[in-house]
């Protein structure tokens, strides 16, 4: 009598257990697929807008592809024969979170060729900043007495190195200058404007 009452309950428990297990494996399968999809793209896993910039020996900021919010005009050919698009400005929304990921493409030693990306205040003069930076070799060419003019900056990246910085675009609209502060790179054209609008 007891056995016949327990048997259906046992079956039911077993059925629930099996379905729970198979359901679990379905979930983990989905998770695996999602992980693979994320890894195969260059986008970061979070939803921060990421801009991949390359610094080349010709002392220019370039990108691989034209982006919707990237001010790009001419094509730049490197000495190695690679073709890139010159990056002259970046459009941003007020308060937008942005990640700049900068890679230096160079065979030269880092003392001779490194790049960084420095975003300055709207009213800052990038030429003055670049001049001051040449004397700040002991601080990765960031003049410490002008830190109040910096909104965000990456570290220096030598050949094949990638550095990044995530920052929030200013709420105030306008043109914010950015530059590479390695000596002579600003005057060679390693500069641009973050256009907040
Ligand atoms: Cu540079």
- Let me know whether 32 and 60 are in one domain: no
Q: How far is CA 21 from the centre of its chain?
A: 40
Residue 33's pLDDT is: 38
Domains in the chain, number: 2
**CATH (domain of 184):** 2.60.40.420
- Let me know whether 139 and 72 are in one domain: yes
Q: How far is the CA of 180 from the centre of ligand 1 (A)?
A: 5
Residue 45's pLDDT is: 63
- Let me know whether 8 and 82 are in one domain: no
Q: Is the pLDDT of residue 26 over 90?
A: no
DSSP 69: T
Are 72 and 46 in contact, with CB atoms under 8 Å apart? no
Q: How far is the CA of 115 from the centre of ligand 1 (A)?
A: 4
Residue 25 main-chain phi, psi, to 5 deg: -70, -30
Q: How many residues are recorded in the chain?
A: 197
Sign of CA dihedral 61, 190, 101, 82: positive
- Let me know whether 21 and 107 are in one domain: no
Residue 108's pLDDT is: 97
Residue whose token pair is 């900043």: 129
- Let me know whether 115 and 169 are in one domain: yes
- Let me know whether 61 and 110 are in one domain: yes
Give me the residues near ligand 1 (ion), CB cutoff below 5 Å: 115, 180, 182, 185, 190
- Let me know whether 116 and 152 are in one domain: yes
Token representation of residue 75 = 């094509």
Q: Is the pLDDT of residue 185 over 50?
A: yes
Q: Which residues fall within 8 angstroms of residue 157, CB to CB, at 6 or more apart?
A: 55, 102, 103, 104, 114, 115, 116, 163
- Let me know whether 101 and 150 are in one domain: yes
- Let me know whether 126 and 34 are in one domain: no
- Let me know whether 187 and 146 are in one domain: yes
The shares of helix, strand and coil residues in the chain, as percent rounded to the nearest 5, are 30, 35, 40
Q: How far is the CA of 162 from the centre of ligand 1 (A)?
A: 13
Task: Give the residue numbers spanning the domain of 24.
Answer: 1-41
């Amino acid at each position: 009598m007891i056995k016949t009452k327990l048997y259906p309950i046992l079956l039911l428990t077993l059925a629930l257990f099996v379905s729970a297990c198979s359901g679990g494996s379905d979930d983990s399968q989905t998770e695996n697929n999602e992980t693979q999809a994320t890894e195969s793209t260059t986008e970061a896993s979070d939803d921060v807008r990421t801009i991949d910039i390359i610094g080349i020996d010709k002392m220019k900021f370039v990108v691989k592809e034209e982006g919707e919010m990237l001010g790009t005009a001419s094509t730049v050919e490197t000495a190695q024969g690679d073709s890139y698009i010159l990056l002259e400005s970046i459009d941003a929304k007020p308060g937008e979170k942005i990640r700049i990921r900068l890679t230096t493409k160079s065979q030269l030693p880092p003392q001779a060729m490194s790049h960084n990306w420095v975003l300055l205040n709207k009213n800052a003069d990038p030429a003055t900043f670049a001049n001051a930076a040449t004397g700040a070799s002991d601080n990765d060419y960031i003049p410490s007495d002008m830190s109040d003019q910096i909104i965000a900056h990456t570290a220096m990246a030598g050949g094949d190195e990638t550095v990044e910085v995530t920052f929030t675009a200013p709420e105030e609209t306008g043109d914010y200058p950015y530059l590479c502060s390695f000596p002579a790179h600003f005057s060679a054209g390693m500069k641009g404007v973050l256009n907040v609008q």
